[in-house]
Structure 1
Amino acid sequence: MSLPIPTLETARLRLVAPEERHLEVEIPFWESERSRFVGGPLPGYRVWRLLATQLGHWALRGYGSWMVEEKGSGRAIGMVGLWHPGEWPESELAYHLYEGSEGKGYATEAGRAVIDHAYGTLGWRTLISLIDPENTASQSVARRLGAVNTGETFVSNPADPACRPVEIWRYPGPEAMT
């Protein structure tokens, strides 16, 4: 079964449906310290399940995350998308980039395309990002996209003492984006 996951394009990027072939770039990310702000590091054998979860999110919610590829090279550089597990306070713009892809404006460019999709195609009125207080790179991306720190926090699993509070960053609504 193939899910109807749209492809989004920007000047430099193509946002495509996650596929099993993307495991070759997702596994090194999740095994590395780079993943510490998004639930890692994790052993490589668990990454297949994470990719399946991403596709399941599309099936259950009708939206989700895309693999981000450079148009020119076709190289996968990260994952950006919309995420809303059951316990989340509301839908989130989430993103991570692979080693060597940071500092080029890719997260901001892909994030803008996803926000436009959420507000334009999906008709949403609100969107947040949940950001670890120490993740200054993610905070910078959120700021460039117009988000502000609300001063509120969220803990996805209060029963787990290792689960740290994250800050809720809110994006301007669609009326402010035009």
Structure 2
Amino acid sequence: MAPIPEIETARLRLRPMMISDWPDYSALMQSSRAQYMGGPHDIAAAWGMFCHDVANWPLFGHGALMIEEKDTGLCVGQVGINHGPLFAEKELGWFVYPHAEGRGYAFEAACAFRDWAFASLGLQSLVSYMDPANDRSRRLAERMGAVPDPDAARTEPQDLVYRHLNKSP
């Protein structure tokens, strides 16, 4: 297995998940803020999601990375490429913790991870699945240049699907 990458942007470090990330991750997944991710979830489901995010790396060569401020070392969220039986295609997803909203962290991290996936994994596209009511994620996907793909396969029929295309030659 290739090592899990660390990716840096101007303000952020995308780094492998650690058990010390669990308390904040668990709290988010058990809160109403997880409403657009099928939640709120109980602690067992939150743990399963956390483990899924880690397990994708050895199984598929990609997974989730935590988003950390370079200046402070504070963990502000997560970006990930999901895959496996619960996802029709490789899915680029993101979240930021409440204290980090409105700073452009999700955009910066998602663009960096998308670009890494295209360059390192040779992917030609990724999708982002989202609840139709999740206006913030929809606007973020559009800001990243993703386009709606109404014909894309999806696990949840009501989900919107945005497609990110690799525009490199």
Give TM-score, length-normalised by structure 2: 0.91
Shift of 1:48: 2.7
Aligned match of 1:18? 17
Worse-superposed segment, 140-149 or 44-53? 44-53
Q: Is the 8 A contact 1:154 1:166 kept in 2?
A: no
Q: Partners of 2:66 and 2:159 in 1: how far apart?
A: 24
Matched, 1:42 2:41: yes
- 1:43-72 CA-to-partner distances (Å, cap 9, x unmatched) read 234433322111111111110110111111
Q: Partners of 2:114 and 2:154 in 1: how far apart?
A: 24
Q: Is the 8 A contact 1:153 1:166 kept in 2?
A: no
Shift of 1:151: 2.5
Residue 3 and residue 122 in structure 1: after superposition, are their counterparts in 2 closer, same or farther (change >3 A)? closer
Aligned match of 2:66? 67
Q: Partners of 2:34 and 2:76 in 1: how far apart?
A: 14
Q: Which structure 2 residues correspond to residues 27-176 of structure 1 after superposition, within 5 A? A: 27-152=26-151, 155-156=154-155, 165-175=158-168
Q: Is the 8 A contact 2:69 2:76 kept in 1?
A: yes
Residue 153 and residue 40 in structure 1: after superposition, are their counterparts in 2 closer, same or farther (change >3 A)? farther
Q: Is the 8 A contact 2:88 2:154 kept in 1?
A: no
Q: Partners of 1:170 and 1:155 in 2: how far apart?
A: 12
Identity of counterpart residues, as a percentage?
34
- Stretches of structure 2 that go unaligned for 5 or more consecutive residues are none
Q: Is the 8 A contact 1:129 1:169 kept in 2?
A: yes
Shift of 1:4: 1.9
Q: Is the 8 A contact 1:153 1:167 kept in 2?
A: no
- 1:16-45 CA-to-partner distances (Å, cap 9, x unmatched) read 111110012101101111111112111234
Shift of 1:173: 2.1
CA RMSD of aligned residues (A): 1.9
Worse-superposed segment, 146-155 or 100-109? 146-155
- Partner AA of 2:14 in structure 1: L
- Partner AA of 2:166 in structure 1: G
Q: Partners of 1:123 and 1:3 in 2: how far apart?
A: 15
Q: Is the 8 A contact 2:66 2:78 kept in 1?
A: yes
Shift of 1:171: 1.3
Shift of 1:14: 0.6
- Stretches of structure 1 that go unaligned for 5 or more consecutive residues are 157-162
Residue 153 and residue 37 in structure 1: after superposition, are their counterparts in 2 closer, same or farther (change >3 A)? farther
